[in-house]
Structure 1
């Protein structure tokens, strides 16, 4: 198939998805799909919440497990702005923690290696310096050791330095309020049709999935019906209204400082750039008009 034919097919599929969404009822399932991007097509993710899907056989990333059995429950300071209880999952049993990561280059990626199998359980905070201000995340390391280990590894490789956050949505645009970062390929200009597809070239299993995305919760992104496809992209929940989506995401922690700054990035759809050329067809690349850039991240 030629490049022009491929573009034509993508445009047609994009139009068909728009027509179907316009006719669909606003059921709770539909709301969840809008939020987390169920319905992966041509190895891209609808709805903008990222994860690429590897299909079939023993290579299915759903079989990739982060084997974590920490000896204590997680500790994280709950955000004062969150009105919904945020309690980390309780580990199944005590014992050493071993993490498993699997190479996946089925979509565009920036591969800097695979994280080690033994996480640093002493990491408790992630401080992100944006061009717009500082955000501190209290990590749930005991409940999500392999998630924290992955983020820390990528940060040591300077993976996130000067990276643009590609997706910002408000309730009037998508029914939810969130900021999404972590795509190394993203341009966040409202023009690049493939924003939201980029990865670090590997996947790993789910952890700490019992927490609904209340205001201040930071979680990893995956397609709506996917499992075990966590990677480099993470999401800040900026409203308690997001809890209508329910639990199921790998939660890494809770914002303890800088949440008001994040919420203030966009007050309505007028602060956003809607990418009509987005080939996922579900607003996954709705970008902030004023760029939001990760300058650096520090773990402590």
Structure 2
């Protein structure tokens, strides 16, 4: 997928040769102001330092960016209540503390509540993409999340992986993430920050079997998937 920018405040990153140049993109441009600012390391965190920088866009929902000092560590249990059932995941804050810190912060602020999963891919890439409250694939939290690629290996996105989408450029993650429901070959450019259990993967596979709304290999899922809430333990 090749990003294409327009003069709009946010522009969707459209598919261009999906099978030849696969990518999972969340859009952004450099115009506009952001309503969120990162708090300082003095906020009480004791973990890794995280640079959550403004992406120059209004957040899709009003949120405060996470502390720059990660407040999560180790394994974090996550339950994502959706219209297709509960998706259970273990988030890896050991190797991706900044990403998990951002996900946890957004979840606690209700950013993901009542949010559709807007994209399903069924040809070459096998993922369900979620995390944009606007449901357009163009929304974000108003800040970027730095890459943490320790677990991202060439072609190494097996079924069950939970990873961040980005604009195709380094350190451009935001709120959008994707669930891999079948082994997928992708460049090692996407932060892996968790893993779903097999039952949860099967729920996503059932959605994938119904295909996309327009019958193509990349589009909105025919079976609507809505994130109702996200809780962390």
Work out whether 1:50 is the aligned partner of 2:26: yes
Which residue is equivalent to 1:265? 207
1:103–1:114 contact (8 Å) kept in structure 2? no
1:218–1:252 contact (8 Å) kept in structure 2? yes
Q: Supply the distance in 2 between the matched residues of 1:267 and 1:218 (Cα, whole angstroms).
A: 19
Q: Supply the distance in 2 between the matched residues of 1:183 and 1:295 (Cα, whole angstroms).
A: 13
Aligned pairs for 1:76-91 within 5 A? none
Please give the per-residue CA displacement for 1:57-94, whole angstroms capped at 9, x wherever unaligned: xxxxxxxxxxxxxxxxxxxxxxxxxxxxxxxxxxxxxx
Equivalent position SS for 1:124 = strand
Q: CA deviation at 1:139?
A: 1.3
Q: Supply the distance in 2 between the matched residues of 1:101 and 1:291 (Cα, whole angstroms).
A: 31
1:49–1:180 contact (8 Å) kept in structure 2? no
Q: Supply the distance in 2 between the matched residues of 1:199 and 1:248 (Cα, whole angstroms).
A: 19
Equivalent position SS for 2:100 = helix
Equivalent position SS for 1:127 = strand
1:126–1:138 contact (8 Å) kept in structure 2? yes
2:13–2:26 contact (8 Å) kept in structure 1? yes
1:170–1:177 contact (8 Å) kept in structure 2? yes
Equivalent position SS for 1:222 = coil
Which residue is equivalent to 1:253? 194
Q: Compare relative contact order (CA 8 Å, sep 6+) and give the higher one, 1 or 2.
A: 1
**Could you tell me which of 76, 82, 98 is aligned with 2:49?**
98
Q: Supply the distance in 1 between the matched residues of 2:220 and 2:97 (Cα, whole angstroms).
A: 30
Superposition TM-score, scaled by structure 2 size: 0.78
After TM superposition, where is structure 1 displaced by more than 4 Å over at least 4 residues in a row?
A: none
Which residue is equivalent to 2:4? 40
Aligned pairs for 1:264-283 within 5 A? 264-267=206-209, 271-274=211-214, 283=218
Q: CA deviation at 1:223?
A: 2.6
Q: CA deviation at 1:272?
A: 1.5
Question: Over aligned residues, Cα RMSD in angstroms?
Answer: 2.5
Which residue is equivalent to 1:185? 134
Q: CA deviation at 1:111?
A: 3.4
Which residue is equivalent to 1:297? 230
Q: Number of paired residues?
A: 203
Equivalent position SS for 1:44 = coil
Q: CA deviation at 1:109?
A: 2.8
Q: Which has the higher helix share?
A: 1
Q: CA deviation at 1:132?
A: 0.7
Q: Supply the distance in 2 between the matched residues of 1:178 and 1:98 (Cα, whole angstroms).
A: 30
Distance 1:246 1:97, change over 3 A: same
Superposition TM-score, scaled by structure 1 size: 0.62
Work out whether 1:113 is the aligned partner of 2:64: yes
Q: CA deviation at 1:179?
A: 0.3
Which residue is equivalent to 1:196? 137
Equivalent position SS for 1:258 = helix
Flag structure 1 segments of 5+ consecutive residues without an equivalent: 1-32, 56-94, 187-194, 277-281
Work out whether 1:231 is the aligned partner of 2:199: no
